[in-house]
Amino acid sequence: MLLVVEQLLNGLQFGLLLFLLAAGLTLVFGIMDFVNLAHGSLYMMGAYFAATFAAWTGSFIIGIVLALGATLLLGMVLEYVALRHLYGRDHLDQVLGTFGLILFFNDAVRLIWGPAGLSLPLPAWLTVPIQIVPGVFYPSYRLAIIAVSLVVAALLYLVVMRTRVGMLIRAGASNREMIGALGINIRLLFTLVFGLGAALAGLAGLMQAPILTVQIGMGENILILAFVIIVIGGIGSIRGAFLAAIFVGMIDTLGRAYAPDLLRHLLSPTAASTAAPALSSMLIYLLMAIVLVVRPEGLFPASKR
Amino acid sequence: MTVMFNVRSVVWALVIVSLMLLPLYSSVSGNIFILTLFTRIVIFALAAVSLNLIMGYGGMMSFGHAAYLGIGGYAVGILAYEGIGSGFIQWPVALLASALFALVIGALSLRTRGVYFIMITLAFAQMAYYIASGMARYGGDDGLTIYKRSDFGGLINLSDRTQFYYVCLACLFGGIYLVWRIVNSRFGLVVQGVRSNEQRMEAIGFHANRYRLVCFVISGMMCGLAGALLATNTDFVSPSIMYWTRSGDLMVMVILGGIGSLFGPVIGTILFLVLEESLSQVTEFSGIIIGPLLLLIVLFARGGIDGWLGRLRRG
Amino acid sequence: MRSTFWLAGAALLALAQPANAGDTIKIGFVSTFSGPTAVIGNDMRNSFELALDHMGRKMGGKNVEVIYEDDTFKPDVGKQKTQKLIESDKVDFIAGYIWSNVLLASLKPIVDSKTMMVIANAGPSQVAGELCSPYVFSTSWQNDQTPAAVGEYMNQKNVKSVFLIGPNYAAGKDMLAGVKSTFKGEIKGEEYTVWPSQLDFSAELSKARASGAASIFVFYPGAAGVQFLNQYSQAGLKATMPLYTAFTIDETTLPLQKDNAIGVPGAQQWVNDLPNDANKKFVSDFRAKFKHGPSFYGAQAYDAAQLINSAVVAVKGDTSKKEEMRKAMEKADFKSVRGAFKFGNNHMPIQNFYLQDVVKGTDGELGLKTVATIVKDSQDRFHDKCPMK
């Protein structure tokens, strides 16, 4: 029973982290109608910046803050220099162009930081496991991720639902031409939204860094998950992305936790141990396929045209 | 008509003749590897041509086309592993299996449009990838070595490099011919019509999705054939040939060469794989060159290389 | 666009150049030089180059040319690069191979062409057993040997039970089987994770804790090892469930694992402080040249160069005498940095395994130290299946 609680927390934490990555992606996608494969590269850059700045300043917190700023800036520069020329293009052109950026970022990082990757060590106060219920210890850092992600999700909700910028963002997601026609400086809005998305990706990357490693290509596998999430949630919908992210996080973690035991009842032990990891990774894609077959525009389609 | 000729046609003629004479060059110069490399290129070109059929003419952006490479490859690999060595069984099974897979996922995926279609095809391909990773009997993640190539009872010997190359080349030319026939048939015109205006075609009384589905299945079969050839060429099949990055590579080949152009995917494939092979010898940081190059091609060279060639005319 | 076209044309021409046969010994070296695991490939290449430096870049009086190829961590690419080395470059020797699956995919063209091969890392059981070949040698180990030594060590420490975690690919399965082959305590559970894409091991760690096992054994090479140790120590398991490892902590990962690795034991056939002259020279010259210590991957590559050299010297540079080269190599007649070892009938080393531990040096630097010899003259358990006698 206690194990189930622990696994649920693991799933929640993973899901929330995925949400941060997916939120930026869905914003950019929903408003600019822009497929950004390089979102995963921004996630990677966030982690590299954080590790570098933390090592320079000697402080975890200062490193994180600087890295967030740097990713925001990088996102805006990237948008200004290259990506804005891809708006209004075919999705395929966007996929190809940003795929090129992935290749570029991976090798640029390898050139600058070397192939070995970096580490972002935690301050001592975040390394002690906390007893959440009697008998269940949980890593304090993972709890911190849950807390930070929930706060960011709430802030994002407030910004999108309660502010003028948020209103424009929502308007943009449902009808792009209209807000342009209303005389809004749409270019600036786009640059800002892209920067925000980049910062969210960077945040996800740097928060994940102490758990995983900071390494080349770290954004690619997780990017696919983020795409799955925004498609399940409905493109452009923050709420959809949130629910889908929790869903995917839970399914992935619980699948890995319980699929082997389930399969052992059906198959021989060796076959089960090979099939189980494959099966649990497949569940997510199965979920996406089912959702799309039933609801071809995701759970919460933002724009109906 | 008189002195005007098209750079594009000259390039195509050159490419076709070079491909046909390549084994001769290889045996005269003693450079065996160029044949090895180009066998692989020709096979991937077939896959790219098949993807171009649905992407370029049908407007269906499949991000899961590598799945058919895997299905075709595993059909040959598994049958060989189970002791069924006859090519007359292996190859039809490979084609049928890919057709069946295409039929099922096509029927489901075609309910969606745009990016959702891209993602759902990706989802199915990833499922196929993970299924293959989970097949303990057939090597799981490590893949399956094919110890004996398909036996065509003395008709052709696939273990002979030159013969195998020409088999692959024949498949490629056959594929291109098929696409050409389809595109210029009534059926092909309907599919292209659906791409540009689906509602209108529905209004005139065409069941758009039925046409699309048939197109999707044909494309899947062609790519499955490429998969069977690829597995034979490497004597090895592993889940990694179905990984999503491989589908991405196929898309890049098509777009690089020129989407919606008959020969474009072939030259896109040649360029992509030759660069991949040779750049790694020049620098280990090839991404710094290829990455921005891709972006530039997208931004400034719409229609890929074929489009660019088409614009080059000489009097 | 125009330049792209010329670039491609030039590349085609470059490929079309026939291999020029000269009076040099040609060696092909396949490893991973791109992506995060390039760390391992670079370490192997650096060590191989250092070995050539030590030989004056000559073998048996002939110049040596090494062609390095990147397998990009993919079996089919590895196979194509292998074919290129054999068919286009016409190499006399082929060496390298980090990954079991890349090696298994590449083996056929090597054996078919009877190219002499020295594996410098991967050790799948097939190559030690039914797929063994007169032309294939290894300066590393069979996958089982190292974890089997860890299992022995756990017996010596009187460990009662263990929970096994490893990646779901050839070596991962071999490693877990290796521990099971020697460990006498209870196996409380066994988990395989998706390789190489799985990021998060929290579900597996939670299960390990819940299983009540006395210890955990893992095999995670490269960056995955860093990830695992991070999550293991954050979960607070270090105090309650001691960790035993194979190929998880080495000089390439230690700079990232840092304090997380202190006190986590592992087994290896080579440690940087082994007290023999060849090793002292290797380690100190490596440090002088590259400003950091070599890893066991490097040590194996260094030995691979030495083994090739012993063959070339035996035939005085005439590499067409394959039978004689094979006989020379079977003697393992060179100063290995791991100390003396022998080859078994399957051309796998019969060698000692040492316990290594992470300690903080006087300068605050973390390093690996030999603690004890776990087993002497260990031979893999697949040599009976090899038809060579």
To the nearest whole Å, the CA of A190 is away from the closest chain B CA by 19
- The answer, yes or no, to whether residue B284 has pLDDT greater than 80, is no
Confidence of residue A197 (pLDDT cuts 50, 70, 90): very high
Looking at residue B3, what is its pLDDT? 44
| Gap between the Cα atoms of A284 and A14, Å rounded | 13
Peptide bond preceding A296 in cis form (omega within 30 of 0): no
Looking at residue C125, what is its pLDDT? 87
- The answer, yes or no, to whether residue B314 has pLDDT greater than 50, is no
Looking at residue C148, what is its pLDDT? 94
Whether the CB-CB separation of C286 and C50 falls below 8 Å is answered with: yes
The predicted-structure confidence for A114-170, as pLDDT tens digits, reads as follows 888 888 888 888 888 888 878 778 889 999 999 999 999 999 989 888 888 888 877
Domains and CATH numbers, chain B: 5-314 (1.10.3470)
User: Are C46 and C100 in the same domain?
Assistant: yes
Q: Which of A14, A137, A273 sits opposite C200 (nearest CB)?
A: A14
Residue C348 maps to a domain: no
Whether the CB-CB separation of A26 and A236 falls below 8 Å is answered with: yes
Residue C231 maps to a domain: yes
Q: Which of B34, B142, B300 sits opposite C104 (nearest CB)?
A: B142
Looking at residue A27, what is its pLDDT? 87
The reply to whether C32 touches chain A by the CB within 8 Å rule is no
Whether the CB-CB separation of B272 and B245 falls below 8 Å is answered with: no
Whether the CB-CB separation of B146 and B76 falls below 8 Å is answered with: yes
Chain A partners within 8 Å of B302 (Cβ): 93
> What are the tokens at A50?
């954080």
The predicted-structure confidence for C276-329, as pLDDT tens digits, reads as follows 999 999 999 999 999 999 999 999 999 999 999 999 999 999 999 999 999 999
**Which chain B residue is nearest to residue A91, measuring alpha carbons?**
B115
- Structure-token match 């179905």, residue found: B242
| Gap between the Cα atoms of C335 and C277, Å rounded | 9
The predicted-structure confidence for C171-202, as pLDDT tens digits, reads as follows 888 899 999 999 999 999 888 888 777 778 88
Cβ–Cβ below 8 Å for B277 and C4: no
Residues 215-244, chain A: which have Cβ within 8 Å of C? 215-217, 221-222
Looking at residue A67, what is its pLDDT? 97
The predicted-structure confidence for C79-134, as pLDDT tens digits, reads as follows 889 999 998 889 999 999 999 888 988 998 999 999 999 999 999 888 999 899 99
In B277-294, which positions are buried (b, 16+ CB within 10 angstroms) versus exposed (e)?
bbbbbeebbbbbbbbbbb
Bigger pLDDT: C235 vs A50: A50
- The answer, yes or no, to whether residue B315 has pLDDT greater than 60, is no
The reply to whether A53 touches chain C by the CB within 8 Å rule is no
Whether the CB-CB separation of B220 and B106 falls below 8 Å is answered with: yes
Cβ–Cβ below 8 Å for A85 and B55: no
To the nearest whole Å, the CA of B294 is away from the closest chain A CA by 5
- The answer, yes or no, to whether residue B163 has pLDDT greater than 90, is yes
Residues 108-147, chain A: which have Cβ within 8 Å of C? 110, 114-119, 121-122, 127-129, 137, 139, 141-142
Q: Which of B34, B142, B270 sits opposite C16 (nearest CB)?
A: B34
Cβ–Cβ below 8 Å for C168 and A277: yes
To the nearest whole Å, the CA of B202 is away from the closest chain C CA by 40
User: Are C254 and C125 in the same domain?
Assistant: no
Work out the average pLDDT over B36-44. Answer: 93
To the nearest whole Å, the CA of B207 is away from the closest chain A CA by 19
Chain A partners within 8 Å of B109 (Cβ): 292
User: Are C323 and C360 in the same domain?
Assistant: no
Cβ–Cβ below 8 Å for A91 and B134: no
The reply to whether C13 touches chain B by the CB within 8 Å rule is no
Looking at residue A219, what is its pLDDT? 87
Looking at residue B172, what is its pLDDT? 97
- Sequence-ordered list of residues with C-beta below 8 angstroms from that of B62, at least 6 positions apart, any chain: B51, B54, B55, B117, B118, B121, B216, B219, B247
- The answer, yes or no, to whether residue C5 has pLDDT greater than 60, is no
Range of the domain at C369: 145-268+353-378
> CATH code at C125?
3.40.50.2300
**Which chain B residue is nearest to residue C71, measuring alpha carbons?**
B280
Looking at residue C19, what is its pLDDT? 42
Cβ–Cβ below 8 Å for B251 and A286: no
With pLDDT > 70 as the criterion, what percentage of chain C qualifies?
94
Looking at residue C307, what is its pLDDT? 97
Residue C44 maps to a domain: yes
Q: Is A200 helix (H, G, I), strand (E, B) or coil?
A: helix
Chain A partners within 8 Å of C236 (Cβ): 128-129, 137, 139
User: Are C28 and C175 in the same domain?
Assistant: no
Chain C partners within 8 Å of A256 (Cβ): 193, 203-204
- The answer, yes or no, to whether residue A304 has pLDDT greater than 50, is no
- Structure-token match 């039925």, residue found: B210
User: Are C132 and C162 in the same domain?
Assistant: no
Q: How many CB pairs under 8 A join A and B?
A: 142
Looking at residue A146, what is its pLDDT? 95
Which runs of consecutive H residues, i.e. helices, occur in chain C?
2-16, 38-54, 75-87, 100-113, 125-128, 145-156, 170-182, 202-211, 223-234, 254-257, 277-290, 296-314, 322-330
> What are the tokens at A200?
């969210």
Q: Mean pLDDT check: name the lowest of A177-191, C72-86, C332-346.
A: A177-191
Confidence of residue B173 (pLDDT cuts 50, 70, 90): very high
| Gap between the Cα atoms of B255 and B267, Å rounded | 10
Chain A partners within 8 Å of C261 (Cβ): none
Residues 253-272, chain A: which have Cβ within 8 Å of C? 253-254, 256-257, 260
Whether the CB-CB separation of B278 and B71 falls below 8 Å is answered with: no
Confidence of residue C218 (pLDDT cuts 50, 70, 90): very high
Q: Which of A35, A93, A103 sits opposite B291 (nearest CB)?
A: A103
User: Are C117 and C168 in the same domain?
Assistant: no
The structure's pTM equals 0.86
**Which chain A residue is nearest to residue C41, measuring alpha carbons?**
A115
Whether the CB-CB separation of C129 and C386 falls below 8 Å is answered with: yes
To the nearest whole Å, the CA of A302 is away from the closest chain C CA by 31
Mutation choice for A interface testing from B115, B242, B272 by most A CBs within 10 A: B115
Residue C3 maps to a domain: no
Cα separations in angstroms, B269 against B38, B43, B219, B283, B304: 10, 9, 17, 21, 12
Q: How many CB pairs under 8 A join A and C?
A: 119
Chain A partners within 8 Å of C252 (Cβ): 116
Residue C2 maps to a domain: no
Please state the three-class secondary structure of A18-65 as a single string: HHHHHHHHHHHHHHHCCCCCCHHHHHHHHHHHHHHHHHHHCCHHHHHH
User: Are C131 and C170 in the same domain?
Assistant: no
Work out the average pLDDT over B56-81. Answer: 94
Work out the average pLDDT over A76-81. Answer: 94
Residue C13 maps to a domain: no
* Chain B residues with a Cβ under 8 Å from any Cβ in chain C: 25, 29-34, 36-37, 40, 133, 140-143, 145, 234-236, 238, 240-241, 270-271, 274-275, 277-281, 284, 293, 297, 300-301, 305, 308
Nearest to C87 by CA among B43, B167, B35: B35
One-letter amino acid of C5: F
Q: Which of B123, B251, B287 sits opposite A289 (nearest CB)?
A: B123
User: Are C127 and C224 in the same domain?
Assistant: no
The reply to whether A100 touches chain C by the CB within 8 Å rule is no
Number of domains in chain C: 2
| Gap between the Cα atoms of B95 and B284, Å rounded | 38
Whether the CB-CB separation of B150 and B85 falls below 8 Å is answered with: yes
| Gap between the Cα atoms of C44 and C29, Å rounded | 10
| Gap between the Cα atoms of A280 and B92, Å rounded | 32
In C353-374, which positions are buried (b, 16+ CB within 10 angstroms) versus exposed (e)?
bbbbbbeeeeeeebbbebeeeb
Residue C387 maps to a domain: no
Instruction: Find residue C166's DSSP bridge partners.
Output: C192
Mean pLDDT of chain C: 89
Bigger pLDDT: A195 vs C14: A195
- The answer, yes or no, to whether residue B303 has pLDDT greater than 80, is no
User: Are C281 and C239 in the same domain?
Assistant: no
User: Are C52 and C134 in the same domain?
Assistant: yes
Looking at residue A302, what is its pLDDT? 65
DSSP state, residue C346: T
| Gap between the Cα atoms of C38 and C31, Å rounded | 8
User: Are C89 and C162 in the same domain?
Assistant: no
The reply to whether C310 touches chain A by the CB within 8 Å rule is no
Chain B partners within 8 Å of C17 (Cβ): 31
With pLDDT > 70 as the criterion, what percentage of chain B qualifies?
97
Residue C190 maps to a domain: yes
DSSP state, residue A118: B
Work out the average pLDDT over A244-272. Answer: 85
Looking at residue C21, what is its pLDDT? 46
User: Are C179 and C212 in the same domain?
Assistant: yes
Work out the average pLDDT over C14-37. Answer: 73
Nearest to B275 by CA among B249, B300, B299: B249
Which runs of consecutive H residues, i.e. helices, occur in chain A?
2-32, 39-57, 60-81, 91-113, 140-162, 164-174, 176-181, 186-208, 218-233, 238-266, 269-294
